[in-house]
Amino acid sequence: MTVRLAPDVPDLAALGAACPEDLLADPPHVVTASRIERVGTLWRVPLPGTPDREGRQQEKPRGAGTGQLYLHRYGGGWPALRARLSHPRSTSLAARHWNIACHLQANGVTTSQLVALIEQPGALAAPLSVLITRELEGFVSLRSWLGSPLDSAARERGLESLARALEAVERCGVSLPGATLDNVLLQARASDDCVALQLTNLGSEQAILRERGLVRSRLPTIAFTNLRDASIASAAARRRGAHWVSELQRELARLAPADGARAG
């Protein structure tokens, strides 16, 4: 069994699990199991200590903070084997998701925060693997954002941020065929993190920007949360597979015909 944890996660107990098998189970066997939800193909799992819908804290936090996790399950077979043979070469589909997220983040593209990776052993490719990410707080889908009352300046900033995010994805060579207006998110409000943590994160971000010779703008952050079927390809292959960007732009134009062109 292979287990990889993010630096801010001390152990599996912090996620409410006693062993890796608890998180490979479907649904996962965690201390907050009574409050997990099915969201499409994912499980939405509260961290220990996260208040329930009535605001009650049913258990104490265990070292990974509070909030919601998303558990992504991947099977095996040929797709998992292909993850070993194509770029980025990965030991499982969950590991491929992890590696592409790291690549995007290293190139200034926001994705869901990585929490944990678990792989069952397999002869050629892990027959089952699980990736766990944190829910992004203060973000809404582009579809919800477009459907909300917006002044022209706010709409302009959001579309400008989306255009820059798409350019950044293109520059770092990633194709995201699963990206839609429902899973590409826009930061609608500030995080609920404490002020000290916000200052720490801001300091780290500014150091990265200085290192890359970039300047932070006052645009809302765009986050890509669906990395299923994502890949890193050559420039020629990216041009052939750029239909995901065109489809996203067409969908955007249908909802915001006056502004959609600016996201291209």
Domain ranges of the chain: 2-134, 139-263
- Sheet strands (E) in 27-98: 37-39, 42-46, 68-74
pLDDT, tens digit (0-9, with 9 covering 90-100), for 56-86 = 999 999 999 999 999 999 886 656 666 666 6
In one-letter notation, the amino acid at residue 101 is: A
17, 25, 96, 172 from 103: Cα distances, Å: 28, 28, 10, 8
In one-letter notation, the amino acid at residue 241 is: G
Burial, 121: exposed, middle or buried (Cβ in 10 Å; 0-12, 13-18, 19+)? Answer: exposed
Using left for φ > 0, alpha for ψ between -120 and 50, and beta otherwise, residue 40 falls in: left
**Where is average pLDDT lowest: 12-26, 34-48, 173-187, 240-254?**
240-254
Q: How confident is the model at residue 220 (pLDDT cuts 50, 70, 90)?
A: very high
pLDDT, tens digit (0-9, with 9 covering 90-100), for 145-168 = 988 887 888 888 999 999 999 999
Question: No. of H helices and E strands in the chain?
Answer: 8, 12
Cβ 20 vs Cβ 73: under 8 Å: no
Cβ 222 vs Cβ 183: under 8 Å: no
- In whole angstroms, give the CA distance from residue 115 to residue 25: 17
pLDDT, tens digit (0-9, with 9 covering 90-100), for 81-139 = 666 666 677 888 899 999 999 999 999 999 999 999 999 876 555 578 999 999 999 99
Say which DSSP state 15 is in: G
- In whole angstroms, give the CA distance from residue 77 to residue 69: 26
CA torsion 6-7-10-14 (nearest 10°) is: -40
- In whole angstroms, give the CA distance from residue 193 to residue 137: 9
pLDDT, tens digit (0-9, with 9 covering 90-100), for 188-211 = 865 444 444 444 444 554 555 556
72, 83, 116, 174 from 235: Cα distances, Å: 29, 20, 31, 10
Residue found under tokens 């608890």: 22
Counted residue by residue, the chain has a size of: 264
218-227 burial string, b = 16+ CB within 10 Å, else e? Answer: ebbebbbbbb
Overall pTM > 0.75: yes
* Mean of the per-residue pLDDT values of the chain: 82
- In whole angstroms, give the CA distance from residue 177 to residue 226: 9
